[in-house]
Amino acid sequence: MKWKKFRIKTRTEAEDIIISSLYDIGLEGAQIEDHVPLTALEKEQMFVDILPDMQEDDGIAYLSFFVEENEAGELLMNGEVTSQDSIVKAVEEELESLKAFMDIGEGSIEIDETEDIDWINNWKQYFKQFYVDDILIIPSWEKVKEEDKGRMIIHIDPGTAFGTGMHETTQLCIRQLKKYVTEDTELLDVGTGSGILSIAALKMGAKHAVGTDLDPCAVPAVEENKEANEIPTDSFDMMIGNIIDDKEIQDTVGYEKYDIVVANILADVLVPLTPVIVNQMKKGGIYITSGIIDNKEETVVNAVKAAGLEVLEVTYQGEWVSVTARKN
């Protein structure tokens, strides 16, 4: 089997958002090359006694995406025939839109060809079950161990949409949800992705969740993960659209009806989102945000305060920040 390789030169801090954005156009299973030092957890997960020597981190990263090429030389993406030029154009448009609110570096694209690599599925070997405190998050193809059967268990297929829970920002949000979710909670999840945060909240006892996302792929992703976690259909509603500037979405979501709003998205998106989303929150409602790199903490805190919210807590994991606030 032949594969066409699209390799993007970018910056390490832009890796996650580029992978997420390019998933929206059908590119999956990114190969990441960078010189970011390994964390203690990553070193443990390598299961080797002698670690390889790493070059000094220069902030440069390369992201490679692989698209299947059939015997006729046609490229197949999401089961449909496409062309190299179409893919390049779509990637360039996504990268250009990201440049408006973050530094993605050079953003150049190299194209190569390789054979006999199942990049869509082989990457799954690197996604293993893990814990967020007392919660087990496990991919669909792994079995729950006997000793874990008494835990809260969340089944997430990371091949369906961005958001497996392994990223620090998602873990920060889950920990904050544990503090504030009650059996009466109405939750709004902005930037739902795989649905992991809403599913976690519902498993914690929340009454109902509404998710919004820009990516239509989030709808089947959420449905699959709802089914995997035995979430009743009417407990979690999903809609596609930009709640920041789409009045129809704002109206459909509703006003002053949510006990908790959670938004695990970029700091530069949280800034315009926050003054809008306060209208969806009940008085006394909790606003949980993450996706904030540490040098953007002050920007988000200022935006939260400017919207009239009271900052309750700022929490950290690695280089990432979560800001939790309340509407008084």
What domains can be seen in the chain, in order of their start residue?
A: 2-123 (3.30.70.120), 129-327 (3.40.50.150)
Those residues with Cβ within 8 angstroms of residue 80's Cβ, 6 or more apart along the chain or in another chain: none
58-79 pLDDT per residue, tens? 889 999 998 888 888 889 887 7
Please state the rounded mean pLDDT for residues 252-273: 94
The DSSP result for 104-142, as a single string, is -TT--EEEEEEES--HHHHGGGG---EEETTEEEE-TTS
Report residue 1's pLDDT band, with 50, 70 and 90 as the boundaries.
low
Position 293 pLDDT exceeds 70: yes
pLDDT at res. 52: 46
The torsion region of residue 133 among left (phi > 0), alpha (psi -120 to 50) and beta comes to left
pLDDT at res. 161: 45
pLDDT at res. 154: 92
pLDDT at res. 124: 62
Position 82 pLDDT exceeds 70: yes
Q: Which residues are annotated as a binding site?
A: 170, 191, 213, 264
Position 164 pLDDT exceeds 60: no
Distance CA 258, CA 146 (A): 37
For the chain, count helices (H), then strands (E).
Answer: 10, 16
Please state the rounded mean pLDDT for residues 80-107: 92
Position 121 pLDDT exceeds 50: yes
Provide the whole-model pTM: 0.67
Those residues with Cβ within 8 angstroms of residue 83's Cβ, 6 or more apart along the chain or in another chain: 74, 75
Distance CA 32, CA 81 (A): 26
Position 46 pLDDT exceeds 60: no
End-to-end CA distance of the chain: 59
The least confident of 37-51, 211-225, 235-249, 293-307 is 37-51
Report residue 16's pLDDT band, with 50, 70 and 90 as the boundaries.
confident
The residue type at 101 = F
Position 7 pLDDT exceeds 90: yes
Residue 167, token pair as written in the block: 């990223």
| Cβ pair 164, 155 in contact under 8 A | no
Q: Which residues are annotated as a binding site for S-adenosyl-L-methionine?
A: 170, 191, 213, 264
Q: Write the CA distances from 156 to 193, 231, 264, integer angstroms.
A: 11, 12, 17
Residue that wins the pLDDT comparison between 80 and 262:
262
Report residue 32's pLDDT band, with 50, 70 and 90 as the boundaries.
confident
Residue 311, token pair as written in the block: 């900052």
